[in-house]
Structure 1
């Protein structure tokens, strides 16, 4: 005589299917959280570089003569 419900629990194969779906959903959530954290880390790094890039563009515009010294100083002060 067998004791207990077996591998799938009281629902048999149906219980095993639900267990598989729950397991896959849990793994998918872990993967999505890892991707979100990875993007968050590198997004912060990109935002930190934006003011530096803006100052570089401003310097190039000043070097080409597109803006005057007064405009350059005012814009540089605003960026800092």
Structure 2
């Protein structure tokens, strides 16, 4: 009868330990899920930004070439601007 008395006895400490273990396990699982979501979003955001940046660069070069073809800008200015875009 030694284990049943006093400060909650043997069973009180084991229930407290089980509850703490459950909370710790849930917190760890939530952190892992949040980390996976964060990494997933950042990977796809970077891929999308790179492809958009490439499309914007191509569009800017096309506009520059069109302006040069229409005679709106001289050759020196075209070469300078083209170099800056590349």
- TM-score tier, shorter chain, comes to 0.5 to 0.7
Cα RMSD (Å): 2.8
Match of 1:19 among 25, 31, 47: 25
Post-superposition shift, 1:45?
Answer: 0.7
Segments of structure 2 that go 5 or more residues without pairing to the other structure are 1-13
| CA shift for structure 1 position 65 | 6.3
Aligned residues: 73
Task: Identify the structure with the greater helix proportion.
Answer: 2
- Give per-residue Cα distances to partners, 1:17-73, cap 9 Å, x unaligned: 111001000000011111111112111111222321211332454577653354234
Match of 2:61 in 1: 55
**Partner of residue 78 from structure 2, selected from 68, 72, 75:** 72
Radius of gyration: which is bigger?
2
Q: Once superposed, which parts of structure 1, at least 4 consecutive aligned residues long, lie more than 6 Å away?
A: none
Normalised by the length of structure 2, the TM-score is 0.60
Scaled by the length of structure 1, the TM-score of the pair is: 0.64
